[in-house]
Structure 1
Amino acid sequence: MATNEGPTIEVNLFVDKEKKKVLFAESDKEFVDVLFSFLTMPLGTIVRLLGKQSQMGCLDEVYKSVEDLSTDFFQTKACKGMLLAPLNAASSHCSRLKINVDDTKVRHSVPDTVCKCGKVMQSVGESLQNDGSAAAGNSEDGVFVKGCLKFIITDDFHVAPASTSLMLSLFEKFGVRDPIDLDKEVVNLSLDKIINLLKRSLTSKQPFTGYYFDVPTPPEDTILDTLPPNLHEQANKAEQKFDDVKIKVLQAKNNSSLLYAQES
């Protein structure tokens, strides 16, 4: 199915509206392929796709640092481009997805790469959209999964082939006495909605529930808290394997927090 937002993928959500929870989803290979493609994306791509608001610890700031640094601080201009838009090793496969979340072009190199001859490349070699790696003789196969199957995806994105026994075990797990008590909601996921699920999957064990009930994602400062109190004790007991490095630190007097550090 396609809309003004581009192609969409249909997914059935089984919702307990009384508990305000999506128990699981049912879909075909198209959505599962897209879900599995999350694992192929470099961290830099995920940070960029999420608008540098990935909430993956400090990686957003690392990405912003690369953006802000002048190319004078990098070995080559291509190094900076490689970090901001890293290549996906599975890009030729992802280009065959119904919805490809990774918008990085299918190519063999990055702009401004220095050729073996020592000159800067003026153009980048791009791969064909379909490199022939699709399963031959079976048009029902997906990009990553095989065969024309239905899948069950739980709220924490555990994927398994659909079966009656699995459905019954999930009903029992969630205390569903009669399946008629659940609402089956058909949703059509566009690119933006799938990116929304990607972001929620990084910060929540219930991305489907968060998406369906439009639960706000937690602020960044609530994702990471202080380090465990026993961490320093463990570090002191660790075997010394490296040479000592002297650093200069700038520390706040009021709360002893570390403001800045520089290698001596």
Structure 2
Amino acid sequence: MGDGKEAEFSLKVMINKEKTKVLFAQVDSHFADFLLSFLTLPLGRIIKALNKHYGDDEAPTVGSLSSLYHSLVNLDSSHFWTEGAKQTLLNPRSSIEDEYKRLKLDIADFQPPKTLYCTEHTWLNRIQSVSVYYDSINRFHTCGCGHTRIGKEDKEKTGCKAASGDGVFTINTASFVISDDLHILPVEAGLLGIILNLGITGADKAEAINVTFGFSEIMSLLKASLISQTPLSDLILNKSRHANSVIVGFEPGASINHLEDDQNPDSKKMILKVVIQKSTGTLLYAQANDDFVEFLFSFLNIPLGGVEHLLAGKTCAKAINNLYLSIADLIDDKYFSTPGTKDRLMKPNVAHGCISDNHMLPLAEECLPDTYSGTTWFSAKFPNGKGSYLKGPRTYHVTDDLIVTPLCVVSVLSSLNKQKIAIYDDVKEVELQIGPKEGLSILKASLTSTSALSDALLNNIPIKQPKPELRV
């Protein structure tokens, strides 16, 4: 559709008479497709897009995911099996990558797949292909075998034709109504159905305005949908709180009890050493092995809709919950462009070739055909036969907001001394077992909390006090 950053959407918006709240907006299928595409974006792709648009100083803080992503950026490549392994995490691919270019705007930094050949491979291996990792900052490609990519013997056949009359996710003839908190409903539901289903009040005294959304407004909507319960009012009526982030609030026990990993002896477990200040109960830091850190980094590969699926539509990002649940409850199957579109939005898979051995959550990879967009595209994501991104064994220092650095005992001791924490009397180390339920709780907390480890673990896992010493 041309240059995505020049395209615009026209919205018909109803606001209350005080001009303090958006009641709803009527949009076309192109805008609806774009809004639904939020659910297909991997978490790392969202953080990268927001950082690129706002700049590092102004980018919103999305829970602990922002600091996790910056930790990955700053972690030396020597910690990874290849530079390509790091780039895969920094630039996570979507399972519907080829469809982004059909959207009216491109916020996903779409990179069409190309046939790029490695100088270390024979012609036979060129046919079988290897993973291509693209560093959009330094503009080079890396082969799955670890060698920097070579010249561009490109065969760009990246077209993905839609069926006649179909949009990316919804049919082109449909119109939709979106509430302030991102419930979405077809216009065909009628005025009364819209008011009742979307919980709209004050519509009898509403005022209509026309609003134009361009690239900048769409980025603001993506930001607001993650950190606000009223994203349309925040954006259209400038009701934002001027803060870069709004922590919605963590709900410790909600929506993770469906993972009964404690009853499954085969469930993967990781050991995490948590250091706590006894007098305050504050989590000072965690000492983690490379498998746990790789598990944290793997969050960046999970699509936002995949997180919603894992958490049964009950993350702490309320507006995204509403968008997700609208697909199941408010939009009939006939409004989707293909029979499988609804399932792909509600259960988006991780892109092919991105799940490592250290990922414990019940995720599925997208199964790509032998030829992807006319280009041979197989995965050799983990070089040297290793099913992991990070080399090991190594030990890392992880803060409450998921800043990851190599463990340096000198630095840790200096930090505790500066905080005037009595190491011998006021610090204890607790060893925790992290299974799928605990891992999912950390993922949930990472979306909205800057104290992800405390919220996910200290509120859910009983910490046994050391037994008192027997004195004779």
Under a length normalisation based on structure 2, what TM-score does the superposition of the two structures give? 0.46
**Structure 1 residue 199, shift from structure 2 partner:** 1.0
2:84 aligned to which of 64, 78, 81: 78
The 5-angstrom pairing of residues 2-81 of structure 1 reads 6-18=6-18, 20-51=20-51, 53-81=59-87
Report the AA paired with residue 155 of structure 1. D
Q: Does 1:207 align with 2:207?
A: no
Q: Is the 8 A contact 2:274 2:283 kept in 1?
A: no
> Residues 63 and 129 (structure 1 numbering): CA distance in 2 closer, same or farther, change over 3 Å?
farther
> Residues 113 and 224 (structure 1 numbering): CA distance in 2 closer, same or farther, change over 3 Å?
same
Aligned counterpart, 2:128 = none
> Residues 174 and 190 (structure 1 numbering): CA distance in 2 closer, same or farther, change over 3 Å?
same
Residue by residue over 1:143-185, the C-alpha shift from the partner in whole angstroms, topping out at 9 and shown as x without a partner, is: 221241211112222222213x53223446434463xx32211
Q: Does 1:223 align with 2:281?
A: no
Bigger drift between 67-76 and 210-219 goes to 210-219
**Structure 1 residue 244, shift from structure 2 partner:** 8.2
1:156 aligned to which of 163, 166, 181: 181
Q: Does 1:105 align with 2:111?
A: yes
> Residues 73 and 221 (structure 1 numbering): CA distance in 2 closer, same or farther, change over 3 Å?
same
Q: Is the 8 A contact 1:115 1:121 kept in 2?
A: no
Q: Is the 8 A contact 2:23 2:203 kept in 1?
A: no
Identity %: 29
Residue by residue over 1:32-68, the C-alpha shift from the partner in whole angstroms, topping out at 9 and shown as x without a partner, is: 1111111121110101112264543211111000111
Report the AA paired with residue 162 of structure 2. A
1:259 aligned to which of 258, 279, 284: 284
Bigger drift between 46-55 and 165-174 goes to 165-174
> Residues 17 and 82 (structure 1 numbering): CA distance in 2 closer, same or farther, change over 3 Å?
farther
CA distance in 1, matches of 2:273, 2:229: 39
Q: Is the 8 A contact 1:57 1:223 kept in 2?
A: yes
1:27 counterpart SS class: strand
CA distance in 2, matches of 1:28, 1:185: 16
The 5-angstrom pairing of residues 179-190 of structure 1 reads 181-190=205-214
**Structure 1 residue 17, shift from structure 2 partner:** 3.4
Aligned counterpart, 1:114 = 143
1:95 counterpart SS class: helix
> Residues 246 and 74 (structure 1 numbering): CA distance in 2 closer, same or farther, change over 3 Å?
closer
Consecutive unaligned residues of structure 2, counting only runs of 5 or more, are 115-131, 135-140, 255-261, 289-394, 396-472
| Structure 1 runs (4+) greater than 6 angstroms displaced | 124-127
Aligned counterpart, 1:233 = none
Q: Does 1:93 align with 2:99?
A: yes
CA distance in 2, matches of 1:198, 1:67: 22
Report the AA paired with residue 188 of structure 1. T
Bigger drift between 190-199 and 152-161 goes to 152-161
CA distance in 2, matches of 1:73, 1:63: 15
Residue by residue over 1:217-257, the C-alpha shift from the partner in whole angstroms, topping out at 9 and shown as x without a partner, is: 57578516677599xxxxxxx669577847362x4466342
Give the root-mean-square deviation of aligned CA atoms.
Answer: 3.5
Aligned counterpart, 2:273 = 247
> Residues 220 and 149 (structure 1 numbering): CA distance in 2 closer, same or farther, change over 3 Å?
closer
Q: Is the 8 A contact 2:185 2:194 kept in 1?
A: no
Q: Does 1:141 align with 2:176?
A: no
Q: Is the 8 A contact 1:106 1:127 kept in 2?
A: no
Aligned counterpart, 1:235 = none
